[in-house]
Chains A and B, each alone.
Chain A
Amino acid sequence: MKITEIIHDWLFSLMPETTASIVEMALIAVIYLAIFAVAGLYLVLLERRVAAWFQLRLGPNRVGYQGLLQTMADALKLVSKELTGTIKADKFLYNLAPYFVIVCALMAISIFPFTQEFQAFDINIGIFFLIAISSIGVIGILLAGWSSNNKFALIGAMRSGVQTISYELSVGLSLLTMVLITGSLQLSEIVEVQKHGWLIVQGHIPAMIAFCIYMIAGTAETNRAPFDLVEAESELGAGFHTEYSGMKFAYFFLAEFINMFIIASIATTIFFGAYLSPFGITESIPLLGVFWFLAKTLVLIFLMMWFRWTFPRLRIDQLLVLEWKYLLPLNLMNLILMALMVLLGLTIQF
């Protein structure tokens, strides 16, 4: 887009090479941070309204028009809250943990292709980078659980460690099955391939299975119900972030919703053709790509919310049995099936 070139040239004219690129990257980082902090807030509001409609309620409708400023008010409240903490807590790790989680969440956003030009960081190992980042997030949760010196938090953290490690597997494998068709990990390449038919259509049956496995594993990845063992209200109270308050708690809370956004946008990029409109109807208008990307992502986010407000919680051993005995074998069979299909060229191209 022209704007990025204009800023790019303006910066390079002002400063020497290296500082200009650093300033440009800092600028992009600040813009992304602002956009996704606000997007996180409105995701929280969306979750509360959708939960209310499922539950015969109305949801927040007092603050601002129809409750639009509700999460803004929550954020202000959290900022002004006192940062309490336990004395025996391991001070340094206790303070480090929230930044781990929020930074990993925000780093993962940078590589999503919202439109053709509007992509901050198009690296050629796109999906691999995404999976690596999402596994670092769990270290933050483990740190939080361990360092707040609270037995419930420790149990919550151990559960999250076990859960994320085992569900990394099926996230990675289901994405891998789709990479078989595209042949490259770079996100813009993947979207290129999807110009003639979304991957879910190209890979028809195995792609559908991979999508279902991905959605299950993705919900588990973000510690959301029915896998919310990490902060199981009725068992552990608030799980790993029991001892956090104020802005630190806000980081965890925001990170959880941004993770949900990330899992949904990975799915749209891989399975549903990021900014490509269905059957190429609105290719002409460049800016509409962002609308399509967000529309698809919001549909998937609604699906994840639907899971949360319907299903009870799994027990920790059933969670692992589901992964190792059901999702993993299915994934491997699906991988072989997709490989055969790509070999024999049975994929549907438009």
Chain B
Amino acid sequence: MGLMKDYNTKIMTNEALQSLISSWIPELEFTEEKSQFLNITVQPEQLHQLMTQLKSNSETNFNYLFCLSGVDWGTALGVVYHLESTTHRHQLVVKVKTEDRDNPTFDTVCDIWYTAEFHEREVFDFFGIIFTNHPNLQRLFLTEDWDGFPLRKDYVDEINMIIK
């Protein structure tokens, strides 16, 4: 059944990864401090193209998006993608940010990874980030008529938010 017995041998180290990926899209920022994984910060326009290449390229083959989280960085709103390759077992973090807080929009990645469909609806629900050509982008947890996006830092709700 093709069971891989070599459980945690990472084939590509971070440096090799970094050099390979920077060969596709030049102006990417790579950082590694303050995190266990290689972080890539990408511009919203190249997000979709980078993601498709990350998945389709046989050497990287990031076919497992294990965590997609929206983050309010104070001034900018952003999404953090944690990717892992089930064959090469190496991990990667892709970050994308936008300053526009009224209607922040990114391209959807749910055509690359199906799990993104639900995760992106959750990020839209709590942060108000709109994902273009997402199959049905509605609120997932809160009711449709809920105003405001709870997980943003500037969200205020006197009734059920107890500030200690």
In the complex they form, whether A and B have CB atoms below 8 Å apart is answered with no
Task: Enumerate chain A interface residues (CB-CB to B < 8 A).
Answer: none
Binding site for A on B (CB under 8 A): none
